[in-house]
Copies of this chain bind each other. A is one copy, B any other.
Amino acid sequence: MTTIKDVAKYAEVSVATVSRVLNDRGYASAEARRRVLDAIEKLNYQPNSVARSLYHKTSGMIGLFMPDITNPFFPELARAVEDVALESGYTVVFCNTDEEEAKEKRYFDALKQKYVDGIILTASSQSASDYAQWDMPIVALDRVIGKHIPTVASDNKNGARQATIHLAERGCSFIAHLKGPAGVRPADDRAAGFEEVIEEKGLRSVVVQTNFSIKQAEKETMKLLADHPDIDGIFAASDVTAAGAMQALAQSGRSVPGDVKVIGFDGIPLCNMLVPSLTTVQQSIYQMGEKAAQLLIQQIEHGESESCEHIFPVSLIIRETT
């Protein structure tokens, strides 16, 4: 490995001078600059960022915490974050937390010791207060975790309202909501929006809880259909959950949208692959990821921590299941 010393020697200047031209800071005669640049070229020198980190206490890395990249909602988010990070010269460290605080904490400690510059957090809201003490630039993505932390999220409640209204307009009078995991903020907001509309319109309804996994959604739906054979609409808290519901519907011999209408939430590519294609509430996934990364980098570089909430609008995409 060639170091700054080698370059200095080759260019016949001091390391200080090399450092100066390297960072374009301070003075350096044209002559010295030329020689240094030449040496760098000749020796194929690349500055060592670990040494830089040690001095500056920054690393050019950001942590990306998500529950599970295997959940089809997250890859696009991750991709967006990575794209803007790369563009700004950051590198992203990838952390699957499985919604476990222990894992989160463990990663956080590890990253902090590496001088990671900031973290994008898609976390469970439970430990909200803790994050404030993390003392590191953070932006919350998809889930709100406290008003003191900048947040990027969708207008989940309104999306749920739109979905429920849509089902009602399509003639559904007994609507089931497959709710997401308890304690996960978006799931709660969607459920709240659902309840609101149900109440406003005086419809019959039933809510069951799922965990966003397709298998469990299928199982729960089977049970639901057994208990309430006259359900004619299902609002699923995610597209994957909706897919599970559709399988149960098919198994129980019901037609979609004939017997039961189904609407999902998220707007992942899966919607278009299903037959019939899935009506859903579309989130601006990529844009949210971008925004979160931009906010974080801005916070890192300019220390702006205006703890704002960026709520992205959501749009109803009507397809065949309704």
**Footprint of B on A, CB under 8 Å?**
46-51, 53-54, 59, 61, 64, 68-70, 72, 74-76, 78-79, 82-83, 86, 91-96, 103, 107, 109-115, 214, 243, 246-247, 250, 269-270, 272-275
- Grouping DSSP codes into helix (H, G, I), strand (E, B) and loop, the A interface class, with mixed when no group exceeds half, is helix
Look across to chain B and name the residue whose beta carbon is closest to the beta carbon of A112.
B46
- Check if B96 sits within 8 Å of A93, measured CB to CB: no
A75-B69, A91-B114, A273-B274 known; A50+B59 contact, CB < 8 A:
yes
Chain B's nearest CB lies how many Å from the CB of A114?
Answer: 5
- Check if A78 sits within 8 Å of B91, measured CB to CB: no
- Check if A274 sits within 8 Å of B274, measured CB to CB: yes
Look across to chain B and name the residue whose beta carbon is closest to the beta carbon of A250.
B275
A46-B109, A49-B113, A275-B274 known; A79+B68 contact, CB < 8 A:
yes
Q: Which residues on B sit within 8 Å (CB–CB) of A78?
A: 69, 94
Q: How far is the CA of A214 from the CA of B273 in the complex (A)?
A: 9
- Check if A54 sits within 8 Å of B46, measured CB to CB: no
A46-B113, A113-B47, A113-B48 known; A69+B79 contact, CB < 8 A:
yes
- Check if A79 sits within 8 Å of B92, measured CB to CB: no
Q: How far is the CA of A93 from the CA of B59 in the complex (A)?
A: 13
Q: How far is the CA of A95 from the CA of B83 in the complex (A)?
A: 9
Chain B's nearest CB lies how many Å from the CB of A18?
Answer: 16
